Structures are given as C-alpha cells and as structure tokens.
Amino acid sequence: MIIFGIETSCDETSAAVVEDGRRLLSNVVASQMEEHARFGGVVPELASRRHVEALLPVFRQALSEAGVTWAEIDAIAVTNRPGLLGALLVGTSAAKALGMALKKPVVPVHHIEAHLYANWLVAPPAPMDGGERGGADYPAVALVVSGGHTDLFHLRGHGDYVLLGRTRDDAAGEAFDKCARLMGLGYPGGPAMQRAAEGGNPKAIAFPRALLPGTHEFSFSGLKTSVRYAMQGENLPSLSDIAASFQEAVVDVLSKKTVAAAKELGVEHVLLAGGVSANTRLREVMQERCDKAGLALFYPPVALCTDNAAMIACAGYWYLQNGRTSSLDFETRASEPLAALSGQP
C-alpha cells in the first residue's frame, strides 16, 4: 500500500511517499526556517503563505523522487492537528482536493502521534520486523520532546496512549530555542546549542534540574532564568561551557524521568520522538541509562525527528491498518491532546 503524506503544521512544507508504512520512497522537506529566523521564531501568517507557494513543487518532487504517479497512490495522509491553524489548512485543503480528484481515501493524522510513528519507519513491530534494531512495539514509554511538547506517554496500543506527565511551562525544544536566543546563537536554537556545546565542559555550571519527584512532569523555566543570569555574570563563562552545561541539565532530567517511568510501568521499550530527540547528547545519555536498566531504546534517524511528511504517511498506514478511516469533511484543529484519542482529558 502506497501512501502520500503531507505535513504543513508549522514551518516545514513536506510531502513523502511511503510504502507499507516502512519503505521510504521519498521525503521532501522545504523548510522556511531562514525566513522566520530574522523574526526569531515562526510567524504564523508568513508560514501559511509560504506553504501555499511551496506545496505543489514539493508534491511534484516527492512523486518524481519516488518514481510513482498519482494513479499508484492508494491513500493520502495529512496532518490535521495540532499546529498553526492557517498552516494546517493549506495542507488539509490540498489533501481533500487530491482525495476528491483521485477518488482515494484521505486520512487525517495527529501530528504528535506521527512523531511517535517515525520510530516505526526504521523499527516496525513484529511480525513485519526486518529492521536491524528490532521492533519499537507496544507496550512502551515514549518521550515526546519537540518545539511545542514535552510529554511522557505510556503507549498501550495503537491510538491508546496515556499521558503520564508533561511540562508545566516551557517545552524542551522551546527551552533550547529561548536559551539559544539569550545567548545570541540564533534560530532554531536546538542545533545551534548542540554545536555551541561541542568542546564545552558540561560540568562548568551546575544548572538547576527540576526533577519534580513523585510526578512525571517537567519544568524548564527555572533553567532558562539561570541561563539568563549566567549570561549577565561578571566573569562570563565561555558560551560553549554555558551551552554544554545547559544541554547536560536538560538531558539529565529528560533521561532520568523517562527511565524511571519505564521501570515503574514495567515496560521494556522506550521511544524518543520530536525535534529534540535529534540531540546527540540526549541519545547518548538515554542509551547509557536504558542499557543500564535493561530497556530497549528507539529513536528515529535525525532527519525524521523534526517535522517531515514520511512520519505522517507512516502513521496514516497504521491508521488504515487499524480501521481509523475518515470521511472528507474532517476538521482541522489548532490543538488536541494526544491522550484525547483514547478518551482521556
């Protein structure tokens, strides 16, 4: 089954062709990052306009790189929630038009669920499993760390996700972006911070770690304030020491709490998802701590951690396998918690 995926929830216009939820035939990502960089963050109205301009060229490139025609596409999957409403509407309108013209089903996909499914592009579950790293199957604990989310989930099955805890203030990616901005490292902050941290001493500054014992919640606003103070000090530490110490504090908290949740629930699989899971240090420390705890760790390849349509097409495939179809009159929504899928608040 060949699925054409569409992603326009934020500042990446992306289209992908994926076969059977795992064979990536193409994944074209047109990023508007540079245009938003001069504003220090994503400007929603600008994002919508750029999606309109980029959409058709990106669609054509995705088809041609995959070497398929529209006639060979079995279904269309598109992000319809959560995200910037105007930006989402560009993608969902195009998907509906395609569905009507091609007389093919259109599957509306939850963006955060798709971030989770990015793991299945490289480690699909048994019995389909042929991947080197084995299947990232349920039950599992998943840490979603992106620009808008820091959520810890208990994944019990397809569409059955229990939210264990989330951030009380900034998302992890937001913390990277805001602190990088404070440090004059530019936007997006995550990759810039990681580069700045190279060669820095992660123990140079003992930044606070909000462990919030007894909860699965997170908080990064205190850390942000500490970085601000560190930047104002008289004997200013080097930027690379601040970056390395900041990164270490974030990674320490994320990995400790994720491993603790997995142990508490007795699951054997841990999944990372979202843009911050591209972070090399997070992957390293998670791997060390999961190994020590006897947990199998999964994370997507770097290119599939940030927003992309391949993960949307993959999720769409699993929606269809599980009978989650939709009529063409589905809504486009700015927000919807993932756990709402299984009836939780």
Return binding residues: 111, 115, 144-148, 177, 190, 279, 307
CB of 31 to Mg ion, least distance (A): 7
2 or 210: whose CB is closer to ligand ATP? 210
CB of 277 to Fe ion, least distance (A): 11
Q: What is the dihedral of CA 88, 92, 93, 99, to 10 degrees?
A: 170
332 touches ligand ATP by CB under 6 A = no
- Phi first, then psi, for residue 317 (nearest 5°) are -60, -45
Three-state secondary structure call for residue 155: strand
4-43 residues in contact with Mg ion (CB under 5 A) are 10-12
105 or 220: whose CB is closer to ligand ATP? 220
112 or 267: whose CB is closer to ligand ATP? 112
- 38: exposed, middle or buried (Cβ count in 10 Å: 0-12, 13-18, 19+): exposed
Which residue has tokens 């500054």?
A: 205
Question: Helical H runs in the chain?
Answer: 33-37, 44-66, 85-102, 111-122, 172-182, 189-197, 221-232, 239-265, 280-293, 310-321
User: Based on C-alpha coordinates, what's the Rg of the chain?
Assistant: 20
CB of 277 to Mg ion, least distance (A): 14
- Phi first, then psi, for residue 231 (nearest 5°) are -75, -15
307 touches Fe ion by CB under 5 A = yes
Structure token digits, residue 140: 């599992």
Amino acid at 99: G
CB of 276 to Fe ion, least distance (A): 10
315 touches Mg ion by CB under 5 A = no
Q: Which of 63, 307, 313, 316 lies at the binding interface for ligand ATP (CB under 6 A)? A: 307
CB of 190 to ligand ATP, least distance (A): 2
173 touches ligand ATP by CB under 6 A = yes
146 touches Fe ion by CB under 5 A = yes
Structure token digits, residue 69: 């025609």
Which residue has tokens 């592009």?
A: 121
9 or 258: whose CB is closer to Fe ion? 9
User: Length of the chain in residues, anyone?
Assistant: 345
248 touches Fe ion by CB under 5 A = no
91 or 173: whose CB is closer to ligand ATP? 173
Binding site for ligand ATP (CB under 6 A): 10, 83, 111, 115, 146-149, 173, 176-177, 188-191, 194, 274-276, 278-279, 306-307
